[in-house]
Amino acid sequence: MRLPGAGSGPRMAPLRRRPKQLTEPPALFRAGTGPPVVTDGAADRGAGAADGAAGGQGTLVTGRRARLRDVAELLEDRPADPEVAAMAQRIARRLAIRRRSREHRGERGAGRIASMPYRYRSDDIDLDRTLEVLTERPVPEDTDIVVRERVRTRRDVVLVVDVSGSMRGEKVRIAAATVAALSADLAGGGDRLALVAFWSDAALLAPLDAPVPADRLLAQLLRIPARGLTDVGFALAAAHAELARSTARRRTTVLLSDAVHNAGPDPRLIARRLPELHVLLEADGEHDAPLAADLARLGRGRLAPIRTHRDVAPALNRLLA
């Protein structure tokens, strides 16, 4: 089976590690029913059919088979750790991304140009529109002048968190910092955050249309039992499926991982399908920097190595600027 993008584009160097080829399809855990569904459409296309991704009604055909399971089957039945919740709140206060006021983001070149009434911010007058207004109002007020300003573009972000191995110590703190900082940055303004946790399987813990508080997301992450293998490609396919339902002008995936891909097909094939993929590389320990760099490059994003939770907010500032 092939992921979307297989057989197209420039030839890539072989992976440094030979990942284990899985004999069973991975599982996608999520709450309730409905999209996204990651399924295998290769059998229906027939030999010689064009390989690619097709979206419709929230369903993404990726060329990979997946079993859809309820997330309740996955999470261990244990109460949320109050210390972790308190830590998430502290991190949200201290490490939330420092962003400029939304109404001034246009100064940095973000968003599209739009004409609107003068609000004492822009001096770029739209003469044609202003003259149209003045012909009807011989005694104009300041707000009758029409200026051109940059309008901030709505963004949907899918955070993809590697939970393979043990979620303890600094790994928990890094996850807490990332979830809290993104949650704070995307709060309000119509921006949305989804969360995919992954190992050899993946779990959609928070879809874009059902936001979950940062402390609850962390509590769910810590209820996922320790797992061994890491299938980065399947996690990115799940993120792609979730973003396929988005109508936001800017759709972003942020991968938090050591990029040690050791199960499943080459993840670089699906990275090319993502609109924008940034990689937060956990570099304090075993990691695969060349693969992380390839994923960010092919996903038209940026790479930021991090070693402690204190590196997270500055790194996200660089990635999402």
Give 180-225 pLDDT, tens digit per residue.
888 888 876 788 999 999 999 999 999 998 888 888 888 888 888 8
* Six token digits for residue 316: 């996200």
* Six token digits for residue 314: 């500055």
Strands of 77-191 (E only): list them. Answer: 112-117, 146-151, 155-162
Of 79 and 235, the one with more pLDDT: 235
pTM, whole model, 2 decimals?
0.73
Find the mean pLDDT for residues 17-25.
74
> In which element (H, E) is residue 62 found?
none
The ranges assigned to domains in the chain are 27-97+153-320, 112-151
- The overall average pLDDT reported for the chain is 76
Report the SS3 class of residue 131.
Answer: helix
**106-120, 128-142, 232-246, 268-282: the lowest-pLDDT one:** 106-120
Of 255 and 227, the one with more pLDDT: 255
Reported as a single tens digit per residue, the pLDDT across 25-57 is 888 888 765 555 554 433 333 333 333 333 333
* pLDDT value, residue 165: 80
CA 225 to chain centre: 23
CA dist 298 and 283 (Å) reads 20
- Check whether 98 has a pLDDT greater than 60: no
In residues, how long is the chain? 321
86 Cβ contact list (under 8 Å, min separation 6): none
188 Cβ contact list (under 8 Å, min separation 6): none
List 203's β-bridge partners, or say none. Answer: 29, 197
Domain 27-97+153-320 has CATH 3.40.630.40: no
* pLDDT value, residue 291: 95
By CB neighbour count within 10 A (0-12 exposed, 13-18 middle, 19+ buried), where does 125 fall? middle
* pLDDT value, residue 106: 40
Q: Which amino acid is at 157?
A: V
CA dist 230 and 267 (Å) reads 11
- Check whether 150 has a pLDDT greater than 90: no
* Six token digits for residue 173: 């703190």
* pLDDT value, residue 210: 86
Are 266 and 15 a contacting pair, CB within 8 Å?
yes
Cβ atoms < 10 Å from Cβ of 23? 5
